[in-house]
Amino acid sequence: MIQLRFVVLALVSVVAIACAPVASSPTPTVSASPSATTPATPSPSPTPNTPARLQVSDAPLPAVAGAFVLFQLPGETRLRAISFGAEVNGVLGGQVAAGAVWSQSPYGLPYVITSTAYDRDAKSLGSLPWNIRETATWSVEGRFVCAAVPAGATTGAQMRLETAFIGQPAKLVASGYMTYSDNASYRVLACDEGTDRAIVASFGQGVAASRLSVFRLSTGAIVRSVDYGLQGGWVAASADASMLAESMRSAAGKWTATIRSADDGAQIGTVDDFAVQGFSGDKTLVVGSSGGTTLAPSSPTTAVIDWKTGRRIWSTSGLPYGGFLPEPAGRRLAVGVGFVGGSDIRDVYLVSPDGSAVLLPSGARVALNY
């Protein structure tokens, strides 16, 4: 997503939040004894040759079904869209300010600027009760939005989990599960009415996971809570809220990502020397970064990995990880690397599960997740 706070999250997470004390694994409030697994070590693979940049179409986006990545080129006052496999691309209708900040739904449309939702012709569909860029996450199907917000903007206020459909008031799901601090950030990592789950995490100073709660979305009941304490790692969730990836950094500076069941904490697998930032839509792949053990790795690597085998599907080196978008229920991802002007993604790749990739035009701005 194109917002400074989340850009900081992405940059710091690449270097493993190294300033905080760490331990080998988090201690959940409610847990099951994980089964022993053999770590999956990413297999070496050469950095692929940089593909030619996409030649964009200036024709209107065809009215076809599918999932799209929205992007904006430098200086343009319109949005463009491209399918995750790059089979179709074109221009959306209406005008959008150059440098606009938006959040796209999982399928690309509708999208939201500040709190107003728009269709493919930039016509207003209604508003949401909060600024989606700061607080909220789309549900898996894009039907509604989930947000973690404080009851009041003062330290100690009770946190609330809310949902809202476009044009409707917020509905309270749960409250009192965390207390607000202006030195922390609160993110809905996943929200899915299909699995009846939502996951909310707090991050100390915005960069280190401190606490996590898994909710039954229909009732607000807490299924499981995890207190990460001062371990200083990072946590990501699959879109359907069924799986977690907990990335922790050892005292020696080595990352290990542990894949767990969100409901009971059971260990499913591990990936060595890698910090996971997110899952593909079908949960078979993870995206994230590695790059040494120092605070300023000389050659950071962004990669897409099959977490069960450790096989590296795709990678690129030299620039820090810069966010991602998953294809809903699929294996393709949009992956960003590097930054320009502090907030804009330098390069965005559309990565396919066979390792091939399409590179968007230079300076393309995409509302990526971090």
Q: Give the whole-angstrom CA distance, residue 125 versus residue 280.
A: 29
Mean pLDDT score, 76-93: 97
**pLDDT averaged over the chain?**
85
Helices (H), the chain: 4-14, 132-135
> Given this model, what pLDDT does residue 252 score?
80
Q: Give the whole-angstrom CA distance, residue 317 versus residue 296.
A: 14
Domain extents in the chain:
4-366
pLDDT at 35 over 90: no
Residue 254: strand pairing partners = none
- Least confident window among 23-32, 202-211, 283-292: 23-32
Query: Which of the four pLDDT bands, split at 50, 70 and 90, describes residue 51?
Result: confident
> Given this model, what pLDDT does residue 243 score?
98
pLDDT at 25 over 60: no
Query: Which of the four pLDDT bands, split at 50, 70 and 90, describes residue 115?
Result: very high
- Least confident window among 1-5, 169-173, 204-208, 245-249: 1-5
Mean pLDDT score, 165-185: 95
- Least confident window among 24-33, 168-177, 219-228: 24-33
Q: Would you give the distance in Å from CA 4 to the centre of its chain?
A: 15
Mean pLDDT score, 128-156: 91
> Given this model, what pLDDT does residue 311 score?
97
CA-based max dimension of the chain: 56
pLDDT at 33 over 70: no
Which of 12-16, 43-47, 87-91: highest mean pLDDT?
87-91
> Given this model, what pLDDT does residue 136 score?
87
Q: Per-residue pLDDT tens for 314-350?
A: 999 988 899 999 999 999 999 999 875 555 568 999 9
Contacts of 367 (CB under 8 A, 6+ apart): 1, 2, 70, 101, 102, 103, 104, 111, 325
Q: Per-residue pLDDT tens for 259-279?
A: 999 999 999 999 999 999 999
Query: 4-366 in CATH: which number?
Result: 2.130.10.10
> Given this model, what pLDDT does residue 356 score?
96
Query: Which of the four pLDDT bands, split at 50, 70 and 90, describes residue 370?
Result: confident
> Given this model, what pLDDT does residue 134 score?
67
Q: What is the DSSP string of 319-345?
A: S-EEEEEEPTTSS-EEEEEEEETTTEE
Query: Which of the four pLDDT bands, split at 50, 70 and 90, describes residue 237?
Result: very high
Which of 9-13, 31-35, 158-162, 252-256: highest mean pLDDT?
158-162
**SS3 for 181?**
coil
Q: Per-residue pLDDT tens for 220-229?
A: 999 999 999 8
